Structure 1
Amino acid sequence: MADRVVPEGRRQRRRPTKQGALLSEELIVRTALHLIGQRGAEALSVRRLGAALGADPSALYRYFRNTDDLLLAVADELIGRAQQGWTLTGRWRTDLRAIGLRVHESYRANPQAAVLAAHRTTGRPHEMRAVETILGVLREAGFPDGLAVRIYHAFVDQALAFAAQDAAALALPPAARAADAEVWQEAYGRLPADTHPHIAATFPLLAADMRVSGYPFALELMLDAVAALRPATAAEDG
Protein backbone atom coordinates (compact mmCIF):
# COMPACT_ATOMS: atom_id res chain seq x y z
CA MET A 1 0.00 0.00 0.00
CA ALA A 2 1.05 3.63 -0.47
CA ASP A 3 0.39 6.74 1.61
CA ARG A 4 -2.93 7.72 0.03
CA VAL A 5 -5.34 7.40 2.95
CA VAL A 6 -8.58 9.34 2.55
CA PRO A 7 -9.94 11.51 5.41
CA GLU A 8 -12.54 9.72 7.51
CA GLY A 9 -15.47 11.81 6.31
CA ARG A 10 -14.86 10.83 2.69
CA ARG A 11 -14.30 7.10 3.19
CA GLN A 12 -17.80 5.72 2.70
CA ARG A 13 -17.97 3.29 -0.21
CA ARG A 14 -21.10 4.01 -2.24
CA ARG A 15 -21.56 0.53 -3.65
CA PRO A 16 -21.50 -2.77 -1.73
CA THR A 17 -18.66 -5.22 -2.18
CA LYS A 18 -19.28 -8.37 -4.20
CA GLN A 19 -20.34 -10.03 -0.94
CA GLY A 20 -23.00 -7.35 -0.46
CA ALA A 21 -21.35 -5.53 2.47
CA LEU A 22 -20.37 -1.89 2.63
CA LEU A 23 -16.63 -1.50 2.91
CA SER A 24 -15.49 -0.09 6.25
CA GLU A 25 -12.42 0.00 8.45
CA GLU A 26 -14.06 -2.54 10.77
CA LEU A 27 -14.76 -4.96 7.93
CA ILE A 28 -11.23 -4.65 6.55
CA VAL A 29 -9.66 -5.26 9.97
CA ARG A 30 -11.91 -8.25 10.65
CA THR A 31 -11.11 -9.72 7.25
CA ALA A 32 -7.39 -9.10 7.68
CA LEU A 33 -7.46 -10.81 11.07
CA HIS A 34 -9.17 -13.83 9.53
CA LEU A 35 -6.68 -14.02 6.66
CA ILE A 36 -3.70 -13.65 8.97
CA GLY A 37 -5.04 -16.60 10.96
CA GLN A 38 -4.95 -18.65 7.75
CA ARG A 39 -1.79 -17.40 6.05
CA GLY A 40 0.25 -15.39 8.56
CA ALA A 41 2.08 -12.25 7.50
CA GLU A 42 1.67 -12.92 3.77
CA ALA A 43 -2.06 -12.25 4.15
CA LEU A 44 -1.34 -8.53 4.50
CA SER A 45 -1.33 -7.74 0.81
CA VAL A 46 -3.65 -5.49 -1.15
CA ARG A 47 -4.40 -8.25 -3.64
CA ARG A 48 -5.40 -10.86 -1.05
CA LEU A 49 -7.45 -8.46 1.02
CA GLY A 50 -9.21 -7.07 -2.02
CA ALA A 51 -10.07 -10.57 -3.22
CA ALA A 52 -11.36 -11.61 0.21
CA LEU A 53 -13.45 -8.46 0.51
CA GLY A 54 -14.77 -8.60 -3.04
CA ALA A 55 -13.53 -5.04 -3.57
CA ASP A 56 -11.03 -3.26 -5.79
CA PRO A 57 -7.72 -3.42 -3.89
CA SER A 58 -7.19 0.30 -4.41
CA ALA A 59 -10.24 0.98 -2.24
CA LEU A 60 -8.21 -0.06 0.80
CA TYR A 61 -6.16 3.12 0.42
CA ARG A 62 -9.19 5.06 1.53
CA TYR A 63 -8.86 3.51 4.99
CA PHE A 64 -5.18 2.69 5.60
CA ARG A 65 -1.98 4.39 4.47
CA ASN A 66 -0.07 1.12 4.07
CA THR A 67 0.04 -2.44 5.37
CA ASP A 68 1.78 -1.37 8.56
CA ASP A 69 -1.08 1.03 9.28
CA LEU A 70 -3.47 -1.89 8.81
CA LEU A 71 -1.36 -4.11 11.07
CA LEU A 72 -1.59 -1.50 13.84
CA ALA A 73 -5.36 -1.53 13.45
CA VAL A 74 -5.33 -5.33 13.74
CA ALA A 75 -3.18 -5.06 16.87
CA ASP A 76 -5.63 -2.57 18.33
CA GLU A 77 -8.51 -4.89 17.54
CA LEU A 78 -6.91 -7.63 19.65
CA ILE A 79 -6.61 -5.19 22.54
CA GLY A 80 -10.23 -4.18 22.05
CA ARG A 81 -11.43 -7.78 22.09
CA ALA A 82 -9.70 -8.26 25.43
CA GLN A 83 -11.87 -5.50 26.88
CA GLN A 84 -15.22 -6.57 25.47
CA GLY A 85 -17.88 -7.48 28.02
CA TRP A 86 -15.75 -6.59 31.04
CA THR A 87 -16.20 -3.89 33.67
CA LEU A 88 -14.12 -2.76 36.62
CA THR A 89 -14.91 -4.13 40.05
CA GLY A 90 -13.08 -1.46 42.06
CA ARG A 91 -10.74 -4.08 43.58
CA TRP A 92 -7.31 -3.37 42.16
CA ARG A 93 -5.88 -6.88 42.29
CA THR A 94 -9.01 -8.47 40.84
CA ASP A 95 -9.09 -5.90 38.05
CA LEU A 96 -5.41 -6.18 37.13
CA ARG A 97 -5.66 -9.97 37.11
CA ALA A 98 -8.67 -9.83 34.81
CA ILE A 99 -7.00 -7.37 32.43
CA GLY A 100 -3.82 -9.45 32.22
CA LEU A 101 -5.61 -12.74 31.63
CA ARG A 102 -7.95 -11.20 29.07
CA VAL A 103 -5.11 -9.68 27.06
CA HIS A 104 -3.21 -12.96 27.20
CA GLU A 105 -6.23 -14.95 26.04
CA SER A 106 -7.06 -12.51 23.23
CA TYR A 107 -3.59 -13.00 21.75
CA ARG A 108 -3.65 -16.77 22.28
CA ALA A 109 -6.97 -16.91 20.43
CA ASN A 110 -5.34 -15.21 17.42
CA PRO A 111 -1.79 -16.57 17.49
CA GLN A 112 -0.71 -15.69 13.96
CA ALA A 113 -1.78 -12.07 14.43
CA ALA A 114 -0.25 -11.97 17.90
CA VAL A 115 3.15 -12.96 16.55
CA LEU A 116 2.99 -9.92 14.24
CA ALA A 117 1.38 -7.46 16.63
CA ALA A 118 2.14 -8.15 20.30
CA HIS A 119 5.22 -5.92 20.29
CA ARG A 120 3.59 -2.95 18.54
CA THR A 121 2.34 0.31 20.06
CA THR A 122 -0.81 1.26 18.17
CA GLY A 123 -1.69 4.71 19.47
CA ARG A 124 -5.29 3.80 18.67
CA PRO A 125 -8.51 3.97 20.72
CA HIS A 126 -8.56 0.47 22.22
CA GLU A 127 -4.96 0.70 23.35
CA MET A 128 -5.52 4.18 24.78
CA ARG A 129 -8.53 2.93 26.73
CA ALA A 130 -6.49 0.03 28.12
CA VAL A 131 -3.66 2.34 29.21
CA GLU A 132 -6.13 4.71 30.84
CA THR A 133 -7.88 1.83 32.61
CA ILE A 134 -4.73 0.26 34.04
CA LEU A 135 -3.29 3.55 35.23
CA GLY A 136 -6.66 4.41 36.74
CA VAL A 137 -6.77 1.13 38.64
CA LEU A 138 -3.33 1.77 40.09
CA ARG A 139 -3.80 5.44 40.95
CA GLU A 140 -7.19 4.85 42.54
CA ALA A 141 -5.65 2.02 44.58
CA GLY A 142 -3.32 4.57 46.17
CA PHE A 143 -0.12 4.07 44.21
CA PRO A 144 1.74 7.37 43.67
CA ASP A 145 2.07 8.40 40.04
CA GLY A 146 5.73 7.51 39.57
CA LEU A 147 5.23 4.04 40.99
CA ALA A 148 1.95 3.57 39.12
CA VAL A 149 3.73 4.22 35.82
CA ARG A 150 6.53 1.78 36.59
CA ILE A 151 4.06 -0.91 37.66
CA TYR A 152 2.00 -0.27 34.53
CA HIS A 153 5.11 -0.71 32.39
CA ALA A 154 6.14 -3.98 34.04
CA PHE A 155 2.57 -5.32 34.09
CA VAL A 156 1.94 -4.70 30.40
CA ASP A 157 5.36 -5.94 29.30
CA GLN A 158 4.85 -9.16 31.25
CA ALA A 159 1.41 -9.77 29.77
CA LEU A 160 2.53 -9.08 26.20
CA ALA A 161 5.76 -11.05 26.53
CA PHE A 162 3.93 -14.16 27.68
CA ALA A 163 1.21 -13.56 25.07
CA ALA A 164 3.80 -13.33 22.30
CA GLN A 165 5.67 -16.41 23.47
CA ASP A 166 2.56 -18.53 23.89
CA ALA A 167 1.11 -17.29 20.61
CA ALA A 168 4.33 -18.12 18.79
CA ALA A 169 4.13 -21.67 20.10
CA LEU A 170 0.49 -21.98 19.04
CA ALA A 171 1.34 -20.59 15.60
CA LEU A 172 3.80 -23.40 14.92
CA PRO A 173 2.72 -26.14 12.51
CA PRO A 174 1.02 -29.00 14.40
CA ALA A 175 3.94 -31.37 13.82
CA ALA A 176 6.39 -28.88 15.29
CA ARG A 177 4.17 -28.29 18.33
CA ALA A 178 3.90 -32.01 18.93
CA ALA A 179 7.67 -32.43 18.58
CA ASP A 180 8.33 -29.67 21.10
CA ALA A 181 5.95 -31.25 23.58
CA GLU A 182 7.58 -34.64 23.12
CA VAL A 183 11.00 -33.23 24.05
CA TRP A 184 10.02 -33.21 27.72
CA GLN A 185 9.39 -36.94 27.65
CA GLU A 186 12.09 -38.03 25.23
CA ALA A 187 14.93 -35.79 26.41
CA TYR A 188 14.27 -34.66 29.96
CA GLY A 189 12.44 -37.81 31.02
CA ARG A 190 15.52 -39.91 30.25
CA LEU A 191 18.02 -37.89 32.27
CA PRO A 192 19.55 -39.98 35.10
CA ALA A 193 19.54 -38.81 38.70
CA ASP A 194 23.31 -39.10 39.01
CA THR A 195 23.93 -36.40 36.38
CA HIS A 196 20.75 -34.30 36.68
CA PRO A 197 19.39 -34.99 40.18
CA HIS A 198 17.03 -31.98 40.32
CA ILE A 199 15.41 -32.64 36.96
CA ALA A 200 15.03 -36.33 37.78
CA ALA A 201 13.48 -35.57 41.17
CA THR A 202 10.93 -33.11 39.82
CA PHE A 203 10.36 -34.51 36.34
CA PRO A 204 6.70 -35.61 36.63
CA LEU A 205 5.77 -32.19 38.01
CA LEU A 206 7.99 -30.40 35.52
CA ALA A 207 6.60 -32.22 32.49
CA ALA A 208 3.02 -31.59 33.59
CA ASP A 209 3.57 -27.91 34.31
CA MET A 210 5.34 -27.21 31.03
CA ARG A 211 2.27 -28.33 29.10
CA VAL A 212 0.48 -25.09 30.02
CA SER A 213 1.36 -21.41 30.01
CA GLY A 214 3.36 -20.07 32.92
CA TYR A 215 1.57 -16.72 32.70
CA PRO A 216 -1.17 -17.18 35.32
CA PHE A 217 1.38 -18.05 38.01
CA ALA A 218 3.78 -15.33 36.85
CA LEU A 219 0.92 -12.85 37.02
CA GLU A 220 0.17 -13.82 40.62
CA LEU A 221 3.85 -13.36 41.49
CA MET A 222 3.72 -9.88 40.00
CA LEU A 223 0.52 -9.01 41.85
CA ASP A 224 2.14 -10.16 45.11
CA ALA A 225 5.09 -7.87 44.39
CA VAL A 226 2.77 -4.98 43.53
CA ALA A 227 0.86 -5.51 46.78
CA ALA A 228 4.12 -5.34 48.72
CA LEU A 229 4.85 -1.95 47.12
CA ARG A 230 1.45 -0.50 47.90
CA PRO A 231 1.54 2.37 50.39
CA ALA A 232 0.53 1.30 53.89
CA THR A 233 -1.92 4.22 54.05
CA ALA A 234 -4.00 2.88 51.14
CA ALA A 235 -7.33 1.32 52.12
CA GLU A 236 -7.60 -2.42 51.64
CA ASP A 237 -9.71 -3.11 48.55
CA GLY A 238 -7.70 -5.62 46.52
Structure 2
Amino acid sequence: MAGRRRWSTEAILDTAAELLRTSDAESFSVRKLAAALGTDSSSLYRHFRNKTELLRAVADRILAAAMDGYLPEGDWKQRITATALRLREAFGQHPQLAVIWGRYASGGTGSRLVMEEVLQALRSSGLPEEEIPLRYHRIVVLLAALIASEAGIRTLTPAEYEQGVEQFRVAVLGADPDQFPALGHFAREIRPLGADRQAAFEEILAAHLTGIETAIP
Protein backbone atom coordinates (compact mmCIF):
# COMPACT_ATOMS: atom_id res chain seq x y z
CA MET A 1 0.00 0.00 0.00
CA ALA A 2 1.35 3.40 -0.91
CA GLY A 3 2.20 5.68 2.00
CA ARG A 4 0.40 8.92 2.65
CA ARG A 5 1.71 11.92 0.76
CA ARG A 6 4.04 14.13 2.78
CA TRP A 7 2.94 17.74 2.54
CA SER A 8 5.41 20.61 2.81
CA THR A 9 4.80 23.44 5.24
CA GLU A 10 4.29 25.79 2.30
CA ALA A 11 1.65 23.55 0.74
CA ILE A 12 -0.17 23.25 4.06
CA LEU A 13 -0.23 27.03 4.49
CA ASP A 14 -1.43 27.55 0.91
CA THR A 15 -4.35 25.19 1.46
CA ALA A 16 -5.15 26.74 4.84
CA ALA A 17 -5.24 30.21 3.29
CA GLU A 18 -7.59 28.97 0.59
CA LEU A 19 -9.94 27.43 3.17
CA LEU A 20 -9.93 30.64 5.18
CA ARG A 21 -11.16 32.61 2.18
CA THR A 22 -14.62 31.20 2.82
CA SER A 23 -14.57 30.54 6.56
CA ASP A 24 -13.56 32.28 9.76
CA ALA A 25 -11.15 31.31 12.49
CA GLU A 26 -13.90 29.73 14.60
CA SER A 27 -15.17 27.34 11.92
CA PHE A 28 -11.70 26.58 10.57
CA SER A 29 -10.13 23.47 12.06
CA VAL A 30 -7.04 21.34 11.62
CA ARG A 31 -9.34 18.41 10.87
CA LYS A 32 -10.95 20.28 7.96
CA LEU A 33 -7.52 21.25 6.66
CA ALA A 34 -6.34 17.65 6.87
CA ALA A 35 -9.41 16.48 4.96
CA ALA A 36 -8.76 19.04 2.21
CA LEU A 37 -5.19 17.75 1.94
CA GLY A 38 -6.26 14.12 1.99
CA THR A 39 -4.33 13.31 5.13
CA ASP A 40 -4.95 13.03 8.87
CA SER A 41 -4.61 15.69 11.56
CA SER A 42 -1.64 13.99 13.22
CA SER A 43 0.52 14.59 10.14
CA LEU A 44 -0.16 18.34 10.33
CA TYR A 45 0.80 18.49 14.00
CA ARG A 46 4.32 17.60 12.92
CA HIS A 47 4.45 21.07 11.34
CA PHE A 48 2.32 23.08 13.79
CA ARG A 49 1.69 22.40 17.46
CA ASN A 50 -1.89 23.70 17.42
CA LYS A 51 -4.50 25.61 15.45
CA THR A 52 -3.41 29.01 16.77
CA GLU A 53 0.17 28.48 15.65
CA LEU A 54 -1.10 27.48 12.22
CA LEU A 55 -3.31 30.57 11.93
CA ARG A 56 -0.44 32.83 12.93
CA ALA A 57 1.74 31.26 10.26
CA VAL A 58 -0.92 31.79 7.58
CA ALA A 59 -1.33 35.45 8.57
CA ASP A 60 2.44 35.87 8.52
CA ARG A 61 2.53 34.76 4.89
CA ILE A 62 0.24 37.67 4.04
CA LEU A 63 2.61 40.07 5.80
CA ALA A 64 5.57 38.61 3.90
CA ALA A 65 3.69 38.89 0.59
CA ALA A 66 2.79 42.51 1.37
CA MET A 67 6.46 43.38 1.88
CA ASP A 68 7.70 41.43 -1.15
CA GLY A 69 9.54 43.80 -3.48
CA TYR A 70 9.17 46.74 -1.11
CA LEU A 71 11.87 49.42 -1.30
CA PRO A 72 11.90 52.31 1.20
CA GLU A 73 11.27 55.65 -0.48
CA GLY A 74 10.61 59.13 0.82
CA ASP A 75 10.68 60.44 4.36
CA TRP A 76 9.68 58.48 7.47
CA LYS A 77 5.98 59.30 7.18
CA GLN A 78 5.89 58.26 3.52
CA ARG A 79 7.63 54.99 4.37
CA ILE A 80 5.18 54.12 7.15
CA THR A 81 2.23 55.12 4.97
CA ALA A 82 3.50 53.00 2.07
CA THR A 83 3.93 50.00 4.40
CA ALA A 84 0.45 50.50 5.85
CA LEU A 85 -1.16 50.68 2.41
CA ARG A 86 0.64 47.51 1.36
CA LEU A 87 -0.74 45.70 4.40
CA ARG A 88 -4.22 47.07 3.74
CA GLU A 89 -4.13 45.88 0.13
CA ALA A 90 -2.73 42.44 0.96
CA PHE A 91 -5.26 41.75 3.71
CA GLY A 92 -8.02 43.25 1.58
CA GLN A 93 -7.57 40.22 -0.68
CA HIS A 94 -7.72 37.91 2.37
CA PRO A 95 -10.18 39.57 4.76
CA GLN A 96 -10.58 36.51 6.96
CA LEU A 97 -6.85 36.53 7.56
CA ALA A 98 -6.91 40.22 8.48
CA VAL A 99 -9.18 39.41 11.40
CA ILE A 100 -6.86 36.56 12.38
CA TRP A 101 -3.82 38.87 12.27
CA GLY A 102 -5.60 41.42 14.44
CA ARG A 103 -6.50 38.70 16.92
CA TYR A 104 -3.46 36.45 17.06
CA ALA A 105 -0.65 38.62 15.64
CA SER A 106 2.33 36.81 14.13
CA GLY A 107 5.97 36.19 14.82
CA GLY A 108 7.45 35.00 11.55
CA THR A 109 9.50 36.53 8.77
CA GLY A 110 6.63 38.67 7.50
CA SER A 111 6.12 40.17 10.93
CA ARG A 112 9.83 40.91 11.25
CA LEU A 113 9.89 42.65 7.87
CA VAL A 114 7.05 44.96 8.90
CA MET A 115 8.55 45.62 12.33
CA GLU A 116 11.96 46.40 10.86
CA GLU A 117 10.63 48.88 8.31
CA VAL A 118 8.42 50.77 10.77
CA LEU A 119 11.21 50.92 13.37
CA GLN A 120 13.75 52.04 10.77
CA ALA A 121 11.39 54.73 9.56
CA LEU A 122 10.82 55.98 13.11
CA ARG A 123 14.57 56.03 13.78
CA SER A 124 15.07 58.24 10.73
CA SER A 125 12.38 60.66 11.94
CA GLY A 126 14.52 62.22 14.64
CA LEU A 127 12.44 60.90 17.52
CA PRO A 128 14.34 60.27 20.75
CA GLU A 129 15.38 56.61 20.86
CA GLU A 130 13.50 55.95 24.08
CA GLU A 131 10.20 56.99 22.48
CA ILE A 132 10.44 54.76 19.41
CA PRO A 133 9.21 51.43 20.93
CA LEU A 134 6.03 53.02 22.27
CA ARG A 135 5.37 54.93 19.04
CA TYR A 136 5.90 51.72 17.07
CA HIS A 137 3.42 49.87 19.27
CA ARG A 138 0.74 52.52 18.82
CA ILE A 139 1.15 52.53 15.04
CA VAL A 140 0.81 48.74 14.78
CA VAL A 141 -2.23 48.68 17.08
CA LEU A 142 -3.85 51.37 14.93
CA LEU A 143 -3.12 49.50 11.68
CA ALA A 144 -4.33 46.16 13.02
CA ALA A 145 -7.57 47.76 14.23
CA LEU A 146 -8.24 49.63 10.97
CA ILE A 147 -7.40 46.67 8.74
CA ALA A 148 -9.38 44.16 10.82
CA SER A 149 -12.37 46.52 10.95
CA GLU A 150 -12.36 46.93 7.20
CA ALA A 151 -11.95 43.20 6.73
CA GLY A 152 -15.08 42.62 8.78
CA ILE A 153 -17.06 44.59 6.22
CA ARG A 154 -15.37 42.85 3.29
CA THR A 155 -16.48 39.45 4.57
CA LEU A 156 -20.15 40.42 4.29
CA THR A 157 -22.12 39.11 1.33
CA PRO A 158 -23.67 41.77 -0.95
CA ALA A 159 -27.08 40.98 0.53
CA GLU A 160 -25.79 41.35 4.09
CA TYR A 161 -24.11 44.63 3.23
CA GLU A 162 -27.24 46.05 1.63
CA GLN A 163 -29.28 44.97 4.64
CA GLY A 164 -26.83 46.80 6.90
CA VAL A 165 -27.02 49.94 4.77
CA GLU A 166 -30.79 49.85 4.91
CA GLN A 167 -30.74 49.48 8.69
CA PHE A 168 -28.33 52.41 8.84
CA ARG A 169 -30.71 54.57 6.82
CA VAL A 170 -33.61 53.65 9.09
CA ALA A 171 -31.56 54.38 12.21
CA VAL A 172 -30.33 57.75 10.91
CA LEU A 173 -33.15 59.15 8.81
CA GLY A 174 -35.84 57.70 11.06
CA ALA A 175 -34.42 59.14 14.28
CA ASP A 176 -36.74 61.42 16.25
CA PRO A 177 -35.16 64.91 15.94
CA ASP A 178 -36.51 65.92 19.33
CA GLN A 179 -34.75 63.03 21.03
CA PHE A 180 -31.67 63.05 18.79
CA PRO A 181 -31.27 66.69 17.65
CA ALA A 182 -27.64 66.42 16.51
CA LEU A 183 -28.35 63.23 14.58
CA GLY A 184 -31.38 64.82 12.98
CA HIS A 185 -29.33 67.86 11.97
CA PHE A 186 -26.54 65.84 10.28
CA ALA A 187 -28.63 62.85 9.14
CA ARG A 188 -28.35 63.44 5.40
CA GLU A 189 -24.57 63.95 5.56
CA ILE A 190 -23.73 60.94 7.78
CA ARG A 191 -22.43 58.00 5.75
CA PRO A 192 -22.42 54.26 6.49
CA LEU A 193 -19.38 52.68 8.10
CA GLY A 194 -18.41 50.98 4.86
CA ALA A 195 -18.21 54.19 2.81
CA ASP A 196 -14.87 55.77 1.80
CA ARG A 197 -12.84 53.24 3.74
CA GLN A 198 -9.54 54.01 2.02
CA ALA A 199 -9.89 57.77 2.51
CA ALA A 200 -10.72 57.24 6.17
CA PHE A 201 -7.78 54.84 6.56
CA GLU A 202 -5.32 57.32 5.08
CA GLU A 203 -6.68 60.31 7.01
CA ILE A 204 -6.62 58.52 10.37
CA LEU A 205 -3.09 57.27 9.77
CA ALA A 206 -1.91 60.71 8.58
CA ALA A 207 -3.36 62.35 11.69
CA HIS A 208 -1.59 59.82 13.91
CA LEU A 209 1.76 60.37 12.16
CA THR A 210 1.33 64.14 12.42
CA GLY A 211 0.83 63.69 16.15
CA ILE A 212 4.13 61.79 16.32
CA GLU A 213 5.82 64.55 14.32
CA THR A 214 4.99 67.10 17.00
CA ALA A 215 7.12 65.09 19.46
CA ILE A 216 10.25 65.32 17.31
CA PRO A 217 12.74 67.80 18.80
TM-score, normalised via structure 1 length: 0.78
**In the alignment, residue 127 of structure 1 is paired with which amino acid?**
S
2:138 is equivalent to residue 154 of structure 1 = yes
Contact 1:192/1:200 (CA < 8 Å) preserved in 2? yes
Question: What is the aligned partner in structure 1 of residue 196 from structure 2?
Answer: 212
User: Residues of 2 paired with 1:39 and 1:194: CA distance?
Assistant: 44
Contact 1:104/1:160 (CA < 8 Å) preserved in 2? no
For residues 110-149 of structure 1, the aligned pairs below 5 Å read: 110-149=94-133
User: Residues of 1 paired with 2:44 and 2:176: CA distance?
Assistant: 60
**In the alignment, residue 105 of structure 2 is paired with which amino acid?**
T
User: Residues of 1 paired with 2:148 and 2:192: CA distance?
Assistant: 21
For residues 88-107 of structure 1, the aligned pairs below 5 Å read: 88-107=72-91
2:27 is equivalent to residue 45 of structure 1 = no
Q: Report how far residue 135 of structure 1 moved.
A: 0.6
Contact 1:32/1:49 (CA < 8 Å) preserved in 2? yes
Going from structure 1 to structure 2, the CA distance change for 1:192 and 1:72 (only over 3 Å counts) comes to same
Q: Report how far residue 76 of structure 1 moved.
A: 0.9
Question: What is the aligned partner in structure 1 of residue 208 from structure 2?
Answer: 222
Going from structure 1 to structure 2, the CA distance change for 1:56 and 1:68 (only over 3 Å counts) comes to same
Residues 151-209 of structure 1, C-alpha deviations (whole Å, 9 max, x = no match): 11111100001112221232244433222222232220233555444333433332267
Question: What is the aligned partner in structure 2 of residue 184 from structure 1?
Answer: 168
Q: Report how far residue 93 of structure 1 moved.
A: 1.0
The total of aligned residue pairs comes to: 212
Residues 2-51 of structure 1, C-alpha deviations (whole Å, 9 max, x = no match): xxxxxxxxxxxxx894xxxx7221111111011011222323223x2223
User: Residues of 2 paired with 1:85 and 1:16: CA distance?
Assistant: 37
Going from structure 1 to structure 2, the CA distance change for 1:144 and 1:110 (only over 3 Å counts) comes to same
Contact 1:75/1:118 (CA < 8 Å) preserved in 2? no
TM-score, normalised via structure 2 length: 0.85
* Sequence identity (%): 29
User: Residues of 2 paired with 1:177 and 1:69: CA distance?
Assistant: 32
User: Residues of 1 paired with 2:162 and 2:11: CA distance?
Assistant: 35
**In the alignment, residue 43 of structure 1 is paired with which amino acid?**
F
Contact 1:72/1:122 (CA < 8 Å) preserved in 2? yes
**In the alignment, residue 198 of structure 1 is paired with which amino acid?**
A
After superposition, the CA RMSD in angstroms is 2.4
Question: What is the aligned partner in structure 1 of residue 38 from structure 2?
Answer: 54
Going from structure 1 to structure 2, the CA distance change for 1:70 and 1:38 (only over 3 Å counts) comes to same
Going from structure 1 to structure 2, the CA distance change for 1:222 and 1:206 (only over 3 Å counts) comes to same
User: Residues of 2 paired with 1:106 and 1:57: CA distance?
Assistant: 29
Contact 1:181/1:211 (CA < 8 Å) preserved in 2? no
